[in-house]
Amino acid sequence: MTLNALQTEEIAAARAQSAETRRPTVPALEAMLFEAIPVLDHGFVRVIDYMGDDAAIVQAARVSYGRGTKRVQEDAGLIRYLMRHRHSTPFEMCEIKYHVKLPIFVARQWIRHRTANVNEYSARYSILDREFYIPAPEHLAAQSVSNRQGRGAVLGGDDATRVLDILREDAMRTYDHYAEMLNEDESGAPRDPERPGLARELARMNLTLNTYTQWYWKTDLHNLLHFLSLRADAHAQYEIRVYADEMLKTAEAWVPLATQAFRDYRLGAATLSAQMLTVVRRMLAGESVAQPDSGLSKREWTELMGVLVRRES
């Protein structure tokens, strides 16, 4: 992770400030506020602000008949009931705002989650940093032959070295051309007064997708957990999953009861179709069921077996 001196000073200044409030606060998340959590080689996640806690979920669920917060065990039970039966509205009462630094190609995948308020660093007005995501060798893999959007065997030896060289050289070269087209120094003055610089909004289009960008991303807890259910999953692309993993840790600090329920009923659970459930019932009744007579497609059968049969490592 790379933070310049100004960013480090800003984080220290933000963490040094405090304010009295009557709002509920969460000490575990307060301790994490503004800190940059490293992700990938130059990226980070920071919690900037939040609203609500586990009690806010319970309060919203009980508002219809006016009860206040009960014992922790009862609150946990209610939260687990709400999660189990997919009552989403109470979880929408909590909100959180992140500052994220991430490669552009990860941002383009991330932005498909259209349930957040997003404001991205604008390369129309500012100059992007000379920072690029270069994968560690263990994350360089060939295309999977069974999954069109997945990875296969890890590249090794000269193949891996050549790929890393290409990624690094292309990123550096296109950034050099970007800087040349801009023709600006750090103060914004022309480097070469004899020629005009290209508009920033045009020069940026030459940059590679592994260039880092930044944004503020604000969402409610329900939609955060939906994001995490997809992106903290083992099948998610590594480069976005590592961000989700760190965000899951912030959720555990913020709303531990809700996050535990999420782990139990979403992240560590499986959804079965009506046909899959019928197959399970037949098996429990002692029937020997095979794919041809199961009523499931080969892919569905494989998925069901993946859920039911423990894979020994």
Burial tier of 262 (Cβ tally within 10 Å: 0-12, 13-18, 19+): buried
Is 231 a residue of the active site?
yes
With tokens 């490293």, the residue in question is 38
Cα separation, 101 vs 38, whole angstroms: 9
Contacts of 30 (CB under 8 A, 6+ apart): none
Q: Of 46, 200, 204, 231, which is the active-site residue?
A: 231
Task: Classify the phi-psi angles of 60: left when phi > 0, otherwise alpha if psi is within -120 to 50, otherwise beta.
Answer: alpha
Q: From the CA atom positions of the chain, what is the Rg in Å?
A: 24
> By C-alpha distance, which of 124, 101, 113, 116 is closest to 39?
101
Strand 141-143, strand 151-154: pairing: antiparallel
| Element (DSSP H or E) covering residue 154 | strand 151-154
- The residues annotated as belonging to the active site are 231
